[in-house]
Amino acid sequence: MRRPSQRGKMSLNLEGHAALVTGASRGIGRAIALRLAREGVRVAVNYNAGAASAERVVEEIRSLGGEAIALQADVSDEAQVTAMTARLIEEWRRVDILVNNAGVRQDRLAMRMTAEEWESVVSVNLKGAYLCAKAVLPQMVRQRRGRIINMSSVVGLAGNPGQANYAASKAGLVGLTKSVAKEVARRNITVNALAPGYIVTGMVEELSEDLKQQVLSRIPMNRLGVPEDVAGMTAFLCSDEAAYITGQVFRIDGGLAI
């Protein structure tokens, strides 16, 4: 495989590794898939419904000289996750990196939220991450190396009105991260979480201009984040440079928490 262009950046020595990035057809997941590909990683681009978008990401990676496949699966469905993981291992005989990025929102005040709205969000955001980790860990244990990155959120650390289900799912990822990190550390597998702040994706673009300005006034760096801000930290945590970092939660929020 021809190594994708590094654009002058120092290599993280991830050449030939295989990654599964869930929810990778757009936004943060797409940026992570492309960044890993630039580091020489073979990337499985998971999607649920956006087949055309996922294929575009695959083609972008191939245009960089990388290797990628698109894999459809609803991460909240164990049978689909199991089949997806089996397909990935059959294709590349290994899985070195799992990025649990797939996520959904259904915002409503808690007292008006339906049980279905609660369950659907928790099912994808939290249960989905658990199912994907469960599916890849046996292979990582056999390899005695692995990297799992769970995409939490600043909302999971601080809460947010109208997002009780989303905040609970993202807070749950913190507990999942720390528990699994303790279980697999001796196998040279690290598990960490990222907690992005306000990143320019479809979810943030839905905010009104007034609300965006209110958000900006609370961010010391005076800008919204971009998906590449998250992708860079993800690539670092997947590398051997981060081999002694596990069970941690990293905020990527422009100083919002200061």
**Mean pLDDT throughout 236-244?**
97
pLDDT tens figures, 19-31? 999 999 999 999 9
Indicate if 166 belongs to the active site.
Answer: yes
Strands 68-72 and 42-47: parallel
Q: Does 188 score more than 90 pLDDT?
A: yes
Of the candidates 195, 191, 85, 101, the residue with the CA atom closest to the CA atom of residue 148: 191
Does 114 map to a domain?
A: yes
What pLDDT, on the 0 to 100 scale, is given for residue 2?
A: 47
The answer to whether position 200 is within a domain reads: yes
The sheet that has 42-47: what strands, in order across it? 68-72, 42-47, 18-21, 97-100, 146-151, 189-196, 249-252
Contact assessment for residue 247 and residue 179, using Cβ atoms and an 8 Å cutoff: no
Residues 190-216 have pLDDT tens digits of 999 999 999 998 767 777 788 888 889
pLDDT tens-digit profile of 74-108? 999 999 999 999 999 999 999 999 999 999 999 99
**Closest by CA position to 230, among listed 212, 206, 204, 209:** 204
Closest by CA position to 15, among listed 28, 25, 6: 6
Q: Quick one: pLDDT at residue 203?
A: 66
The answer to which of 10-14, 144-148, 193-197, 244-248 has the lowest mean pLDDT is 10-14
**Amino acid 201: pLDDT:** 84
Q: What is the DSSP string of 230-247?
A: HHHHHHHHHSGGGTT--S
The count of domains in the chain is 1
Domain annotation covers residue 7: no
- CB neighbours of residue 150 within 10 Å: 28
Our CA dihedral for 51, 169, 129, 43, rounded to 10 degrees, sits at 50
Q: Is residue 3 part of a domain?
A: no
pTM: 0.93
Confidence label for 10 from pLDDT (cuts 50, 70 and 90): low
Handedness of CA 95, 22, 188, 252 (dihedral sign): positive
Listed in sequence order, the residues at least 6 apart from 43 whose beta carbon sits closer than 8 Å to its beta carbon are: 18, 19, 21, 24, 33, 36, 37, 61, 66, 67, 68, 69
User: Diameter of the chain by CA atoms?
Assistant: 54
Is the backbone of residue 86 left (phi > 0), alpha (psi -120 to 50) or beta? alpha
Mean predicted lDDT score pLDDT of the chain: 94
- Residue 8 maps to a domain: no
- Count how many residues are written for the chain: 258
CA separation for the pair 65, 50 (Å, rounded): 23
- Report helix, strand or coil for 16: coil
128 pLDDT band, cuts 50/70/90, is very high
Domain with 210, as residue range(s), is: 18-252
H/E segment holding residue 128: helix 128-143
Considering the candidates 47, 130, 166, 198, report the single residue annotated as catalytic.
166
Q: Which is more confident, 11 or 73?
A: 73
Q: Does residue 240 lie in a domain region?
A: yes
pLDDT at site 206: 73
CATH of the domain at 211: 3.40.50.720
pLDDT in tens, 133-165: 999 999 999 999 999 999 999 999 999 999 999
Residue 3 confidence (pLDDT): 52
149 located within any domain: yes
